[in-house]
Every structure is written in structure tokens, then in C-alpha cells.
Amino acid sequence: MNEGKLTKGQYRTLKSNLAELPELQSGAASFISPSRSGSGSPSSERSIGFNVSALDYSMGKELLGLLHKYEALIRRGRTLTPPALLKREATVEKEVAATVSFHLAHLEWTVQQDWVEEFAGLIKEVHSKGLSVTKKFIEKTRRIPCPTEACNKKLSIDIERLMENIKCLGCHGEWTVLRLIQLALTNPDKEFLLDIETICLWLGDTEKNIIKVIKANDIKKKSGLYNIKEIINARVA
Ligand SMILES: [Zn+2]
């Protein structure tokens, strides 16, 4: 390992931050789009009630701007093919992957440059932004109250694993996600706020339809989430 002008710790952080960027960028997309297909650009309608910062991050503008700026610097410094002569990748994901692997391949050279500390700092910033975009959203939207009467704990649900068991650390009750939401819905004393994506999955409906119901019935958003019972009742009515 040749950490150049960085400390060993800074070097390790820079390398792992860089390596994780593609996953953070493509991961951010799954926090916006309910289809999880990862294709196409999210329409403005999709962003209603969704995570706008995840949207920004998955579009990769800031991320690519930074990576490309320094890639150009490295290409100039090492007299490699200038960026203008390179073919653009077909998707943001591929663009990010390409420039990240370029940066990793040239890291030994980069760490010798005077600007490396600044570069490492900027990469760290954009990396933690990616982390917070995904983490915050999970925490904000994927927690529902434990269905056990006297239990006040909240349970984190993973809508991609609907059949897996979730255990409450408070009352030690255990349910599948599906059962949990079912129980939650039949308990009149508890309010269940979920994001549109989860509501769509649970109700087996499209986001377009759910947004229509929300608008038609003037269902209020509470800290970015909707009460699923209100939506169900509105649909039945
Ligand atoms: Zn519990």
C-alpha cells in the first residue's frame, strides 16, 4: 500500500468510499421508484411523496460532476485520452461505475498529488450524503408500531422480504411482514403511516392509482407518509 500524501487511515477511507459509490448511487434509485426496475428516469409524478434527495442522488449529477472533474485532471496529468474523446456510457449507473474504476485504477498516482486531500474530503462528503439518503429514508418510512396491545416498540419492516419473520425486541412477538401489516390494519388504536411504495405493494395497486385516491379524498400527508387505513377506507367508499 502506498498512501502517498495521505495517512494510512485516510487512504483506506478514500479507497472504500470510492468503491462504495456505485452501490450507493444505484441503491438510491430503489428509494424513489416503486417498480425497482431501475430503468427510465423518474417522472415528476413519482416524486410526489417520495424521497427527493434520493432522486437527486440517483440521478448522479453531483456525484458524476465531482468524479469527472478529477478524472479529467488525472487524464491531463498522466496524458491519457482526454474525456472529450471518450464514449459516454448508456446509463448513470454505468457512468458512475466507469469513472469509479478509473479512479481506483489510478489511486496510487492520485495520492501523490497536492490536491489529494481535498479530493478525499469531497469524496467523503458525497459518500456520506449517499449513506444518509438511503438510511434516513429507511428509518423514516419502514417502521410501524408493534401490534401487541401494551407494546410501544416500533418494528422495522423490509418490504422486499414480505414473508420473512420480524421479531419485536420489546414483547418478543414474531410475525411475517404481511401478517404484521394485517394485524396493524385491524387495530383501531394504532395509526399506521407508510410511504407510497409500501402502500402500493401492500394494496397491490399502482402508484398512479394510489395518488389519485390521495388527491380525490384529500388524504393528509404526515411527515412524508400516509395513513394506510385512510387510503383503504377511501378506496372502499
Ligand atoms: Zn412488541
Taking the centre of ligand 1 as the mean of its atom positions, its distance from the CA of residue 172, in whole angstroms, is 6
Cβ proximity of 213 and 180 under 8 Å: no
Nearest-5° Cα angle at 107, 102 to 113: 120
- Confidence (pLDDT) at 140: 46
The last residue of one of the domains, among 113, 140, 167, is 140
Cβ proximity of 106 and 18 under 8 Å: no
19 falls within a domain = yes
Taking the centre of ligand 1 as the mean of its atom positions, its distance from the CA of residue 199, in whole angstroms, is 22
CA distances from 121 to 76, 125, 215 (A): 21, 6, 44
Place of cell 460532476: 65
- Confidence (pLDDT) at 160: 60
112 falls within a domain = yes
2 falls within a domain = no
Query: Could you tell me if 14 and 108 lie in one domain?
Result: yes
Query: Could you tell me if 82 and 44 lie in one domain?
Result: yes
Taking the centre of ligand 1 as the mean of its atom positions, its distance from the CA of residue 216, in whole angstroms, is 35
Query: Could you tell me if 166 and 212 lie in one domain?
Result: yes
Find the domain containing 198 and state its range. Answer: 142-236
- Confidence (pLDDT) at 45: 31
Query: Could you tell me if 47 and 31 lie in one domain?
Result: yes
**Closest C-alpha among 180, 59, 214 to residue 129:** 59
Taking the centre of ligand 1 as the mean of its atom positions, its distance from the CA of residue 206, in whole angstroms, is 31
Going residue by residue through the chain (237 aa), what tens digit of pLDDT does each one get? 789 999 999 999 999 999 989 888 887 766 554 433 333 344 333 333 345 566 667 778 888 999 999 999 999 999 999 888 888 888 888 999 999 999 999 999 999 999 999 999 999 988 888 877 665 444 444 677 787 878 888 887 766 666 678 888 899 988 887 777 677 667 777 777 788 877 887 777 888 999 999 999 999 888 778 888 888 888 877
Query: Could you tell me if 118 and 183 lie in one domain?
Result: no
The last residue of one of the domains, among 140, 161, 183, is 140
CA 25 vs. chain centroid, Å, equals 8
**Closest C-alpha among 109, 119, 133, 98 to residue 27:** 133
219 falls within a domain = yes
Cβ proximity of 96 and 25 under 8 Å: yes
Query: Could you tell me if 14 and 105 lie in one domain?
Result: yes
Query: Could you tell me if 63 and 111 lie in one domain?
Result: yes
Taking the centre of ligand 1 as the mean of its atom positions, its distance from the CA of residue 152, in whole angstroms, is 7
> For the chain, what is the domain count?
2
Taking the centre of ligand 1 as the mean of its atom positions, its distance from the CA of residue 147, in whole angstroms, is 7
3 falls within a domain = no
The last residue of one of the domains, among 98, 122, 140, is 140
Taking the centre of ligand 1 as the mean of its atom positions, its distance from the CA of residue 151, in whole angstroms, is 5
Taking the centre of ligand 1 as the mean of its atom positions, its distance from the CA of residue 174, in whole angstroms, is 9
Query: Could you tell me if 67 and 126 lie in one domain?
Result: yes
Taking the centre of ligand 1 as the mean of its atom positions, its distance from the CA of residue 170, in whole angstroms, is 5
Taking the centre of ligand 1 as the mean of its atom positions, its distance from the CA of residue 167, in whole angstroms, is 8
- Confidence (pLDDT) at 180: 74
Query: Could you tell me if 155 and 106 lie in one domain?
Result: no
Query: Could you tell me if 153 and 114 lie in one domain?
Result: no
Taking the centre of ligand 1 as the mean of its atom positions, its distance from the CA of residue 204, in whole angstroms, is 27
69 falls within a domain = yes
158 CB-side CA count, 13 A? 8
Query: Could you tell me if 88 and 182 lie in one domain?
Result: no
Residues 6+ apart with CB under 8 A from 6: 14, 111, 116, 117, 120
Ligand 1 ion: nearby residues, β-carbon < 5 Å: 146, 148, 151, 153, 168, 170-171
Q: CA 196, CA 177: separation in Å to the nearest integer?
A: 16
1 falls within a domain = no
Query: Could you tell me if 128 and 198 lie in one domain?
Result: no
86 falls within a domain = yes
Taking the centre of ligand 1 as the mean of its atom positions, its distance from the CA of residue 177, in whole angstroms, is 14
Taking the centre of ligand 1 as the mean of its atom positions, its distance from the CA of residue 51, in whole angstroms, is 28
Q: Under the phi-then-psi rule, with left for phi > 0, alpha for psi from -120 to 50, and beta for the rest, what region is 225?
A: beta
Entry pTM: 0.52
Taking the centre of ligand 1 as the mean of its atom positions, its distance from the CA of residue 180, in whole angstroms, is 11
